[in-house]
Structure 1
C-alpha cells in the first residue's frame, strides 16, 4: 500500500512513519507547512511549523531512506482553522482548533491530495487505535472502527472524533497500542534525533499561549461591563470575546463578593459585549445541544436514543449520557443531538465539541450549540 506519512518533526510522527515502513508499505514522508511566515526556531513547546521542525522531519526521513516533501497548506490552514477560530470567538463561542485541523487539514486537504496523487492512505502519529471487523455490508467486506489508545494519558481519539467512515477507511494510527515512554525509547533505539524532543501543545498558532492577547490583536479591544447574574456592574473587560465559560483568573473585578467566594465566568454575550460572572454552582450543566455532526461509521437513525459516553475536553473525563438523535427534514439522518449527562459538568461552553463513545469505540462528535440543566 502506498502511504503518506504526515511528519510534523516530532517523535510521534517519526516513529509512526518508521512503523509503516516496517509493516511493508511504500512510505513517503510529508511535512505540512501551515505557517505563512515560519520562524527559524520554536519559541516554546507550544509552537509548530518552524524551519526547525521541517528539518527534524527531513532528517528522520533520510535515516529511514524514504522520499520527503514539504506541502504548503498555509493558506488552507489560515482559512479553515485560524480564521474559523477567530470567527468563533468573535461570536462568543469557544472552539477547538485541533479538531478543526484534523477535520479540514489532515484528513481532508492532506488525504484528498494524497489520493489525487495515487496514494492509498495517510498515517499520523496520533494515539488512537483502528480495529477491523468482517462486515459484508462494508466496502471490501471490512468495517473499520476508531478506538481509544492503550495509553490513557496520551489518548487522542477525542480530537479524531471528526473523522467520517470514508476518512477512517484510509487512515492509519500506528502508535495506538504503545505508551509514550515506549515510543521515546523506540525512537532512541532507531537513532532518531527527535527522541527527546518536547511535545508541542495546542493552540499551535499561539506560540506564547496568550489566547486573550492574540484575540485582542486580531479582534480589537472593545471595553464592556462585567456583571453579576442580577446585572450589577462589578468591573470592566476589554472584549467579551476574550472570556470563556468557567474562567476564574484575570477577571480584574473591582467589587469583591460579600461572602468571599470565588467568581467564575458563567456566560458571555458578544452582541451586548457583556460578561456575566457568578458562583461556582452556576457553572454546572447536564444538558447539551449539538450540531455539525460527524459519524465515525454508519450514522444512527434520526429519532433514536442511545446510552453512550460523552467527553467534552481532549483529556477530560467521559460521562455516562443518554443521546437523542433529533429529527431531520426527512433524510433519515439526525440533524442534531441532545446529550443528557448523568451528572452536571462545569465550564461547558458553546463551540466546544462533545465526542461520543460506545465503550472504547468512537461513535461520532458534535459541536455544542447550547447548554442547560435538565428538569429534576
Structure 2
C-alpha cells in the first residue's frame, strides 16, 4: 500500500512505506486480533505476532475457549502461518499471577468487585508486552480492541469505538499517554462485529467463525468464587445476611459470592419486598441487604486516576464530564472534582444504583466520544 498522497503517512501514521514499518500485533487467538494481524500483513507491513501464555493450561484455572489458553495459542499460530508472518509465544505466567490474579482474589476478600481485564491491559499487555515490542524494534504495537486512537491538536487522543455495542473504552481508561502514543487500534472505526468477521473470511482465516470469549480468561465458566477459594483457601467462610438495622435474615456461604446490587440467589424467603445487596462486610463476614432505594448514590470517591485531558488534572476545581461506573452502562453526566494529583470526588447529576468499590469510574467528554481517563471506585458514600 502506498503512502497517503495528502498526508505522506501510511495507514498507521508513519512517514514511510508499510514494508519499512514494523508492527507487533498482540494476538489472543480470537477473531479480532487475528483480523488486525491479517489486514496489516496484507497491506504490506512488517508484522510480528505475539501471544501471551498467561497461566498454566493444565491447572484448574484454565478452561477451554478462554483467552490465551492452549487452543487460542494454536489458533494464533495458524493465522500467522496462513498469512506468512512470524509468531512468538511469551511465558507471562508469573507476571500475570502477580499483577492480576492475586489482586483479583484479594479484592474479593476485601469486599470489592474487581475488573481484572483492566489490570491485565494496564500491567501486562500495555506495559510488559509493549516494552517487548520496543525491544523488537517495532514502530508500534497494534491490538484487536474496539477503541479509537485519534491525533488531536495537542496529542494522541483516546475515543470510544464507532460501534457502541463493541466499545471497550471502559477497560482501557488506564492507558498512559506514552502508551497511547505507541499503540494502534485498527478495529475501532468498524461499525459492527459482522464487518470484522467478513474481513476474517476474506483472508480465509481459520478463526473466522470462532465464538467470542465471554468470561474472565482465568475463571472457568464464570465461577469466580471457586477460583478464589482455590487461590485463598478458607475464603468461602459462612456468615450472616443482615438487614440495614443489623437483624439476621439469612445465612451465606461466603462474602466472595456476592456483589453490590445483587438480588438473585440470596436465599431469603418470606419477605414481601425484594431485597438487594447494599454492602459487604468481609471482616464481620456479613452481607447487608436492603431495599433498592438504598443502592442509589450520587457521590463516588475515585483514586488511582489516569488523566488523558489536554490540561493538567488539578488545573481546575471541577470538570464537567460524563462517567461510566460500570461497563454495561452508558456514560452519564457528572461533576469531577479533583482532591489530589490522582484522587477525586465524582458527583453524579442523576443517582446511580449499584456503585461498587473495585469497579472503574471512567471519564468521557459529555456529548462526544473522547475518553479523558478514569480511576478506581474505592468506597461508597
Matched, 1:50 2:69: yes
Distance in 2, matches of 1:49 and 1:17, equals 16
Aligned counterpart for 2:270 among listed residues 256, 278, 281: 256
1:223–1:100: structure 2 CA closer, same or farther, 3 Å change rule?
A: same
Aligned counterpart for 1:339 among listed residues 335, 346, 371: 346
Distance in 2, matches of 1:213 and 1:309, equals 36
Report how many residues are paired: 354
Identify the residue that residue 202 of structure 1 maps to in structure 2.
215
CA contact (8 A) 1:245 1:349 kept: yes
Q: Which moved more, 1:15-24 or 1:151-160?
A: 15-24
Distance in 2, matches of 1:152 and 1:205, equals 26
Distance in 1, matches of 2:97 and 2:370, equals 31
Aligned counterpart for 1:81 among listed residues 75, 100, 118: 100
Aligned counterpart for 1:93 among listed residues 112, 123, 137: 112
Distance in 2, matches of 1:294 and 1:54, equals 32
Distance in 1, matches of 2:378 and 2:133, equals 33
SS of corresponding position for 2:219: coil
Aligned counterpart for 1:8 among listed residues 18, 21, 28: 28
Distance in 1, matches of 2:227 and 2:86, equals 37
Q: Which runs of 5+ in 1 are unaligned?
A: 136-142, 329-333
Distance in 2, matches of 1:155 and 1:184, equals 16
Shift of 1:371: 2.2
Distance in 1, matches of 2:316 and 2:159, equals 25
CA contact (8 A) 1:38 1:51 kept: no
SS of corresponding position for 2:264: coil
Identify the residue that residue 125 of structure 1 maps to in structure 2.
144
Distance in 1, matches of 2:351 and 2:377, equals 15
Distance in 2, matches of 1:211 and 1:95, equals 11
Q: TM-score, normalised by structure 1?
A: 0.90
CA contact (8 A) 2:306 2:342 kept: no
Aligned counterpart for 2:41 among listed residues 1, 21, 24: 21
Aligned counterpart for 1:318 among listed residues 331, 335, 341: 331
Moved over 4 A (4+): 42-45
1:137-156 correspondence to structure 2 within 5 Å: 143-156=155-168
Shift of 1:84: 0.8
SS of corresponding position for 1:370: coil
SS of corresponding position for 1:301: helix
Matched, 1:348 2:355: yes
Shift of 1:100: 0.6
Matched, 1:60 2:67: no
CA contact (8 A) 2:307 2:374 kept: yes
Identify the residue that residue 380 of structure 2 maps to in structure 1.
371
Q: TM-score, normalised by structure 2?
A: 0.89
Shift of 1:134: 4.1
Q: String of CA shifts for 1:11-34, please: whole Å, max 9, x gaps.
A: 000111123334543210011111
Aligned counterpart for 1:361 among listed residues 360, 370, 378: 370
Identify the residue that residue 138 of structure 1 maps to in structure 2.
none
Distance in 2, matches of 1:88 and 1:114, equals 31
Matched, 1:188 2:201: yes
Matched, 1:164 2:173: no
Distance in 2, matches of 1:278 and 1:301, equals 37
Distance in 1, matches of 2:116 and 2:197, equals 26
CA contact (8 A) 1:127 1:173 kept: yes
CA contact (8 A) 1:235 1:252 kept: yes
Q: String of CA shifts for 1:173-206, please: whole Å, max 9, x gaps.
A: 0001112100001101110011110000231111
Distance in 1, matches of 2:338 and 2:323, equals 14
